[in-house]
Amino acid sequence: MPAILADATEAVLYAWFKAAGDSVTAGEPIAEIETEKANVEMEAEGDGILARLIAQPGDTVAVGAPIAVIAAVGDAEKDIDAILATALSQPAGTSKQHDDAASVPAADTPRVFSSPLARRLAREHGLDVAALNGSGPDGRLIRKDVEEAIAAQLAATAAAPVPAALTTPLSGAPAFARGFVQPVGETVPLTRMRQAIARRLTESKTRVPHFYLTADVRMDDLLALRKQVNATAQRKITVNDLVVKAIGLALCDEPDANVTFNGNSMIRYNHADVSVAIATDGGLITPVVRSVDTASITEISSTIADYAARAQAGKIRPGELSGGTFTVSNLGMFGTKEFTAILNPPQAGILAIGSAELRPVVVNRELGVATLMTCTLSADHRVVDGAVAARLMAAFKQRMENPLSILI
């Protein structure tokens, strides 16, 4: 099991793309791994035959534990067995094996085989794993079994009659309250990714001292230049591409803002690796565009477009989700005028981008109209002071309002 995230100790084997006995080549996707941030593809590390599948879909496996064997053509089964015996004897054995042993109740209680994820889901929804039927190998209880039990439980709850007390007109109540009926909703279990988002953002908002700066950026020159570039460019450049490039350059203009919190120290970076927030059906993910300050606008645009397409298909690779120094979150395309974003620790900054719209402005004491875009910086006050954040926003605004400095 690869170390998908820097601080991860385990991950879930979501699905195999190959069956035992299939040929594989180095770099070919062979499995889908479920992490706290996204479902990502795991690639084969070498050429050979997928000789043995150790982990099954739904299993939670410790990082570094074996999940499969890729053998060379002609390798003997006894050699594979010997290698596996050694690997499985190490402390980083699969969670499946260790947790099965831990799930053995008292001596007079039947043993229940279940994946850690299945047990966790069952516990969160008050289900007894001993009362559920497993569809996995040898009757093992897997996530799908628990999710089906949860769905059945929700269906039964939704079908239950509404208590009479909730449908009886309230004596002496105002007219609008008489005949009040308690609304009936659907309980939707949180995915592993959604649980992680909830936990990480709660920790960030409650433990990190956020402060916010807002600036209105004049967009007329940038939009005119973008139109001119796109008239002849093979790849159409988006406003978001230009925003990412501009903040990357601004971070190098103000290097004291290009930092991450590291306990009793902070790390200052020489390049701007910008995480770009992308919404998927499962939740928000933030793949990283590397060295934005030195990359061309075409390279940035191509990378972001590729991330957006693969994110929807669940094909973001593990290394693409880690190592960002700053984040850009753009909701302008949805018509949002302005918003504040929550920091993504250990990063010390995230820029929230609103929509570009025509607004009245005063220039040289005369009223006019210009295209303005409201941008809000959230900063971590532990490592970024107000003056540093203000200089970063000024550098970003200067770049955006003088767009040739972004392209040249």
State the catalytic residues.
381
Beta strands in 223-365 (DSSP E): 259-262, 265-268, 274-276, 278-280, 283-285, 288-289, 326-330, 349-363
Q: Is 142 helix (H, G, I), strand (E, B) or coil?
A: coil
Secondary element (H or E) of residue 96: helix 95-102
CA distance 244 to 248: 6
Q: Per the omega criterion (within 30 degrees of 0), is the bond before 346 cis?
A: yes
CA distance 67 to 88: 10
Given a contact cutoff of 8 angstroms between Cβ atoms, the answer to whether 32 and 17 are in contact is yes
Secondary element (H or E) of residue 178: none
CA distance 327 to 244: 9
CA distance 287 to 311: 9
CA atoms in the 13 A half-sphere facing the CB of 264:
0
Cβ neighbours for 389, distance < 8 A, ≥ 6 positions apart? 211, 213, 257, 349, 377, 379
Give strand pairing partners of 327: 275, 350
CA distance 113 to 100: 6
Q: Fill in the DSSP letter of residue 295.
A: S
